[in-house]
Structure 1
Amino acid sequence: MARIVIIGAGMSGLAAASRLGTLGHRVTVCEASPTYGGMVGRYERDGFAFDTGPGLLALPAVYRDLALKTGREPLEELVELAPVDPESRHLFPDGTALLLPNASRGGVGQALDAAFGTGSGERWGEVVNRGRAVWEATRRPLLEEPRPERRPDDPYPVPPRRGLGRWLPRGRYTLADVARHELGGHPGLTALLTEYALRHGLGSDSPASATVLPYMEQTFGVWYVRGGMRALADAVFRRCEQRRVEFRFDTPAEPLVEDGVLTGVRTADGSRIPADIVLSSVPSGSRALGRFTVLLALRGARPGGTVHRTVVHAADPEQEFDRLFQHEDLPEHPTVQLLRPDDPALVPDADHESATLTVTVPNGGVLDGIGPDHDAYAAHLLDHLAKAGVDLRDRVLWHETRVTAQVPEPSLAGAPLAADNRTGVPGLYRIGGTAHPGGGLPRVGMSASITAGLIGPA
């Protein structure tokens, strides 16, 4: 039995603690804040409740595996999962509306043909099929196994070039190239592709392997946890308690390495906790993007037929990427995601609605602090939604705003990989969004699984 200390009680820390406790280790978790869950937070006021981090779950298989490996019971016995169907509604600047079904590649193709014209679904399907080839080539080395020693080449199967283009030197093939050459530069299809990238903190210059993101979502589906995503954190925390994991909240800590040897952790008050193994989920490295969130308490019942997730696409996608990645400035009319869950647990009664809108912004600077700039930008975003046909302004009872660090980008073939779970110090490991295999709920769960596998049973 090893003495293990985990720094951070976010989802990666909880997942690692439950796995290592099940393997027979003695586990202590030190968390700087008063509670667990990290970015999977919850805000409550006047009978309303909101997820303050991710609101939807992709690849639930990661947490199904966690539930089975740590308790031999299905995830569905711990939380209530509901598929989000339709998966999303997309509103484009030219007035086009697109309704996408959940986990139905054929249904997506039909919806694209209806919205953009015959052949659009086939063109999109060919790109997503190439995303499938990326998934099959990278699933194990980039998601399920320890970080490879070198960055793998992008396995995206680039189609043969035609005409004079075949004589030009071939360089790095990017999402922008996919949009230009394979989607024909179609504005709607391009906006759909780049929205997946933007949501994961990626730019249009990302490697073409990023097409794995729409493949995963449209193949495996998107899910909602009843009661809000915080219910998932609650379930994993309970599993930790069942495995006798000790939690120390309000306890910032850092690894303690003396003469190159890991001896435990040192807490903010100067005390020491001896440990044979330490896992740190403290973020490392810089983050280029942030997330601006507006929590909306709405008067009036949620209208029948309301879609759970609506995306209002940017008026000028190129300008949006340019402002975000080149000038670190706020896009004037950005891509906005609006979540409107049909969940009685989130509202005081049936005559009210809880909604959350999010937009990707530069990380820091333009919206630092709390003040009138937040409220002004929130009002601007509501006006932006209203012009797209989703007018919530007269229904707002109150709103709350916040700026958080963007979930770090996932590890992609052809791009720099997240930091290795192993460090140069024996017994010291990295987990979480800035460690292999990257950010997002599924990947931080995989980070915990990979690291628990490296440590092994007691």
Structure 2
Amino acid sequence: MIGAGMGAMAAAARLAVAGHRVVVYERTETYGGAVRRFERDGFGFDTGPGLLTLPAVYRDLFVKTGKEPLEDCVELVQVDPCARHVFADGTEVSLPNASRAGVVAALDKALGAGAGERWGAFLVRAREAWDRTRRPLLEEPLWPNWQVLAEKEPYPAVAHRRLLRTRQARTLSEIGSLELRDERLAALLESSALAHGLDPRTVPASAAVLPYMEHAFGTWYVHGGIRELARAVYERCVRRRVEFVFGAEVVRVLEKDGRAAGVELSDGAVAEADHVVADVDPAWLKALTDRPLDGNGDVRADPFMTRPGRFALLLALRGGCEAGAAHRTVVHAPDPESELDFLASADGDQPPPPTVTVLRPDDPALRPDDGHESVVLSAVVPSAADWDEEGMVRQYTEHLLEAAEAVIPGLRDRVLWQEVRTPDDTDDETGAFLGAVPAPALAAGRGRFLHPSNTTRLPGLYRVGGWSHPGGGLPHAGMSGALVAGLIVEGPEFRGSR
């Protein structure tokens, strides 16, 4: 197995239980892929995802690979409120976790009568899109005739009484303008796509499943940080006798008799294998094989497509977290169009203020004592920007601090030290091209939002993790591990768990 990301480890544990000898070669010195931790002076920070949706994916992994359930290995905490949103006009709203009635009431109170009803009606339609795509885009290997998923929009059309006809939104932004009819509700909707690096103006309406997943299954935190989830999965692998070799860079996938037969390492060592599973960026995998792995003209498999990355500021603060502070706050950009234009082009050296996510886990495990606080500020940024340019880093740092001042009282006076993390850091740690972050797979959009299938044109070579079907994010990466394990154990007839 190439890489020790979350998808690879999920596959490794399942394969080991099925009786396979599994060896994982990881070029860095630790596991988890992008799920890492930065520690200094008693402070701890998640440097990848900070929250978890769909914990059922990892509950299933632990049920299928051992006696101890997930909750015996990590402490899962439901985050409530799910998020606090601060809009450009100064309006604020805190949304309860996994409560439709609570969300409707909160939106009506903060944004005016009718806002909650419109959002609730949207969630009903989003559920319809979820029901239509959940199995093919999360629980099953990618269909051979994946073009069917690429062409049909699963988000339903909406009847317009005044027009006496129905109209179907083509993009997530059109849902906001046609159905929500409130700039703040539209910003709430679009932030769910932006968090994954997706432009709501071009992403298909099927992206409505992203806020729906959070609403339906809740948002969860792992005590000690999400890195603890990676630790638990790694330890489950070790208990199932999966072997890990760290500091081992794979430079070539070996072939024999027309199929994958092992890997070659940078020191010249060769490891033979019946199956090779790669948890790497598609550009990297292409270099390891030097052969086409998908059909000609396959829009799912462009290894050099520019994708956004993540800029984060890790703050060590003096003073404890005030009572009632939200775990997650989203401070929306004052000019969303300028933010999206810059993400799409990265033109110019003056980035506009972005949408900023503020994570304040009130977790004793992440601070030296109750008189201090660890905070993570983050924003989606162009991965192709020049992150060696001091001015770019300085401007984004200032943007994030300015946004967070609306959330954290006396922020600048409380900073003991700060650590900047750019897409270059993600590139170094994960090998992702330009430090980009993968998004979950989505239907429609002519296939541009699907990911390469877990199987390849080279028999015996499989893809796992966020850069393969069903895409990025902790739940999707975990599901990719289940799919790859099923394909190896049961063969190409495997159709997912039922």
Length-normalised TM-score, structure 2 = 0.87
CA contact (8 A) 1:328 1:362 kept: no
Structure 2 equivalent of residue 160 of structure 1: 159
8 Å Cα contact 1:277/1:428 also seen in 2: yes
**Is 1:242 aligned with 2:239?**
yes
* Aligned with residue 381 of structure 1, among 379, 382, 400: 400
1:148-195 deviation line (CA, Å, top 9, x unaligned): 12231221111134556959xx787111111111012x1100100000
Structure 2 matches for 1:52-201, cutoff 5 A? Answer: 52-149=47-144, 150-151=146-147, 152=149, 153-161=152-160, 163=162, 173-184=170-181, 186-201=182-197
Partners of 2:40 and 2:98 lie apart in 1 by 34
Would the alpha carbon gap of residues 457 and 164 (structure 1) be closer, same or farther in structure 2, given more than 3 Å must change?
Answer: closer
Q: Secondary structure at the match of 1:302?
A: coil
How far residue 306 of structure 1 moved from its aligned partner, in angstroms, is: 1.1
What is the CA–CA distance in structure 2 between the aligned matches of 1:120 and 1:434, rounded to whole Å? 37
Equivalent residue, structure 2, for 1:3: none
Query: Over residues 303-349 of structure 1, what are the superposed CA-to-partner deviations in whole Å (9 max), with x where a residue is unaligned?
Result: 11111001100101122111111445664221000000010010011
Q: Which residue is equivalent to 1:20?
A: 15
4+ long deviations beyond 3 Å: 161-167, 326-331, 370-373, 387-391
* Cα distance, 1:216 vs structure 2: 0.8
Question: 1:332-387 CA deviation, whole Å, 9 max, x = no partner?
Answer: 22100000001001001111000000001001224x13746424431332123325
Q: One-letter code of the match for 2:404? A: L
**Partner of 1:7 in structure 2?**
2
State how many pairs are aligned.
449
Structure 2 distance, partners of 1:41, 1:133, is 35
Judge conservation of contact 1:50–1:228 (CA < 8 Å) in 2: yes
Seen in structure 2, the aligned counterparts of structure 1 residues 383 and 36 have a Cα distance that, compared at 3 Å, is: same
Change (3 A) 1:227 1:453: same
1:218 and 1:380 map into 2 onto residues whose CA distance is 29
- Equivalent of residue 460 in structure 2, options 427, 441, 448: 427
Q: CA deviation at 1:295?
A: 0.3
Shift in CA distance, 54/122, structure 1 to aligned 2, threshold 3 Å: same
Aligned to 1:338: 358
Is 1:309 aligned to 2:308, yes or no? no
| Aligned-partner Cα distance in 2 for 1:390–1:269 | 53
Structure 2 CA distance, aligned partners of 1:52 and 1:338? 13
Aligned to 1:399: 418
Q: What does residue 480 of structure 2 align with?
A: 447
Matched, 1:408 2:406: no
Asked whether the 8 Å contact 2:25–2:244 carries over to 1, the reply is: yes
Given that 1:147 and 1:421 are in contact with CA atoms closer than 8 Å, whether structure 2 keeps it comes out as yes
CA RMSD of aligned residues (A): 1.9
| 1:227-262 Cα deviation digits (max 9, x unpaired) | 111111111111111111111100011321246332
Aligned to 1:282, which of 273, 280, 283? 280
The answer to whether the Cα contact below 8 Å between 1:31 and 1:247 also exists between their aligned partners in 2 is: yes
Q: Name the aligned partner's letter for residue 472 of structure 2.
A: G
Q: Which blocks of at least 5 consecutive residues in structure 1 are unaligned?
A: 1-5
Partner of 2:385: 365
**Contact between 2:354 and 2:399, CA under 8 Å: does it hold in 1?**
no
> What is residue 217 of structure 1 aligned with on the other side?
214
Structure 2: give runs of 5+ residues left out of the alignment.
283-302, 424-434, 492-498
Structure 2 distance, partners of 1:373, 1:317, is 19
Q: Is the 8 A contact 1:20 1:27 kept in 2?
A: yes
For 2:342, the equivalent position in structure 1 comes to 323
Contact 2:96 2:102 (8 Å CA) reproduced: yes
**Does residue 1:41 correspond to 2:28, yes or no?**
no
1: CA distance between counterparts of 2:281 and 2:346? 24
Which SS does the other structure have where 2:221 is aligned? strand
Corresponding residue for residue 496 of structure 2: none
- Asked whether the 8 Å contact 1:105–1:125 carries over to 2, the reply is yes
- CA distance, structure 2, for counterparts of residue 38 and residue 455 of structure 1: 22
1:124 Cα shift? 0.7
